[in-house]
Structure 1
Amino acid sequence: CNSLVFCDCLVFLWLNGWSVTYTTQSICALKGSTVKLTCSYTYRIGHKVTSTFWFTKWGTGVEPEDLGQEPEYAGRLEYHGDKKNGHNLIITDLRERDSAEYKFRFKTDQNGKYIGSPGVTLSVTDLQVKVTGGHQDKTLTCITTCTLTDNPTYIWYKNGHKVKEDTSSLYSVYFSDADSYSCAVKGREDLHSPAVCQKCWSVIYTRQSICALKGSTVNISCSYTYPSYHEIKKAFWFTKWESGKDPEDLSSVPGYEGHIEYLGDKKSDCTLRIPDLRLSDSAGYRFRFITSGERFAGSPVSLTVTDVVLEMDPTSVSERENVTLTCRTKCTLDPITVYSWYKNGQPIPNSNTYSPVYRLFSVSSEDTGRYSCAVEGHEDLPSAEETLTVTC
């Protein structure tokens, strides 16, 4: 299953020269992945299309609302049109509540309106591991609530390590009490199923250390396992744990109240989202869960929050001298970082670099000004400006 789901033309709807052609009528995609819905349309000669959009909700006597105006899709939609009256809708970071019938609508300058119906039915599913068989000779099945598009290849993990890759969703295994198993599909190995185990306890983090920019948003993700005969009573994140005391749920700690969000929606997923990061959010974050008979906590995930600082050497020079600009962070940002450079608040042409160092050679009086830097993708979080003075 690829992160983008593409489809072939199947449906034509015609009415006096008006039509919407959808590339497929149904798509099954993984939660957290990206999907692409595609259509093309025709209309009467002499008309000119004035607006196009996708929608899911349409009440009697009420005009449908552009999906791009709905808050729950904010930042997750892309519309793409082409010269042949094609139209693509891309939805990222899919959620189960995105499951719906998506329809395309266009309007013309002569009050013409058309909706392609039926639309595209999108079903969003997660992965689950179903266990059947005897005491220890088990058959594991990677199941979904709908049939995934493109017949994916399944990948199996034992105690977090890859052990098998197969087109079959079944895996026969000798299941010991200490082992845990999870599955994923090829191309989206980052979207694991929750792990299953017989008597094991574990918290598995996606990353053990994170470097993030001040002002950005970070997700700290993990999955956890516990014996099947236990029942979860409470699950939460914390940073401080004093000897002899139970750690305090981070969501009720002053300074974090209203600042963090728990995203895990199953009893084996745990994701902590921290938006608008502050330097003071740098800490070791741990996940803890309490069952009907035991309690367990994972090791810390180290989060370092950094700002971007521009260093200029020197800040005052004579013409024809060189100046070195360095964009510094407290930790190494992941993935590979591209740096953007600015003069007087405007991007310097052709200045993006993989290096945090940018050099001005043989400067002139025209190079006098205020300089700053930013990390590509976070241009809204630039460094403070440093002023360069060039004298004759």
Structure 2
Amino acid sequence: GQDDWGVTYSSTKICALKGATVDMSCTYTYPSRKYGRDAEVKETFWFTKLSAKQPVDLRTDSDYQDRVEYSCSEKSCSLRITDLRESDTVEYKFRFITNQPDGSYTGSPGVTLRVTEPLKLQVHPSHSPTHLTCVSSCYGQTSFIWFKNGEKVPENKWYYSPGVVGHADEYTCAVKGYEKFPSPPVYAPKLPSVSVSPSAEIVEGSSVTLTCSSDANPAAKYTWYKENGDPDLQPLSKEPQLVFSSIQSSDSGEYYCTAENELGRRTSEYIYINACYTNWTVGFVFCFYAPKLPSVSVSPSAEIVEGSSVTLTCSSDANPAANYTWYKKNGDPDLHPLSKEPQLVFSSIQSSDSGEYYCTAENELGRRTSEYIYINVTCE
């Protein structure tokens, strides 16, 4: 009854996310009159530990400095803890002290708080379409909020099927009311970067390592290929690194990697490996490599007038020397070459020749395409 000693907690088990804020509250009762005098509450506080067998007020506990706040009124008191830490996973008890000789009381058992890591977002690629689930180790949290690229999506269940996932799409989830504490995002691999070590001249017989890396969550799996025109390429490695313990000149060529996770797959740009053959007998180092990115130039570089002579030049560093081909961009997939020489010469250029041109450089080890160069022919 109202004249009994007692503490009633609104909830005795609470689960909350690390970094969040939690509230716990209670009501309490005590005899209104004892030993011939009216009872009066002198002190109220929450605690988790004892010091010299006495409860330590959370407001003076260094582990909770600047993180606790009480809100107490007659016969009720609430505790708020901010910036929750995993070490806050303990039992919290409320104690009040009256003006009676034996007039103190602790509500026991108290409130058990469990602080867990932020949400986890799991990807299930075996479902079609891809299935995402929001995983929380807290119980009683059934209403979720989903975000795609920072924008809310109309879904509040613990699972979500996003449909087609774009290269730049990111997904997160949060417990309703805890939007400030979302899960880490999941996303398809970003464009992989490739590197070669050593970065200096590669000599036949030396050790060479190619490394592929991509930002992805879940983590990406990597596969290495050598470009050789075969549509059914066999992977050279299914690791982030492709290692040549003793590289040969026949290993020269273009290499690329793929990064793949449950949400998508990206292919890197090509990396060119030039394995050099060393002939110590004659003291020469012979390096064979695919063409570098061709550079294109136009002469004259000034205004081009109809009827004048104009020369486009394509050049690329390659060994063996590259063969060049010139094309005009016109949307035709079966483009006919305009020239199979390094230079494309217009002896008397016409306004109809205006447009974008590009060249290719090719040898036995690979083929590269230049950037476009725009020719604007003006009338006299």
Indicate the TM-score class for this superposition, using the shorter chain for normalisation.
0.3 to 0.5
Larger Rg: 2
Give the structure-1-normalised TM-score: 0.43
**TM-score (norm. length: structure 2):** 0.45
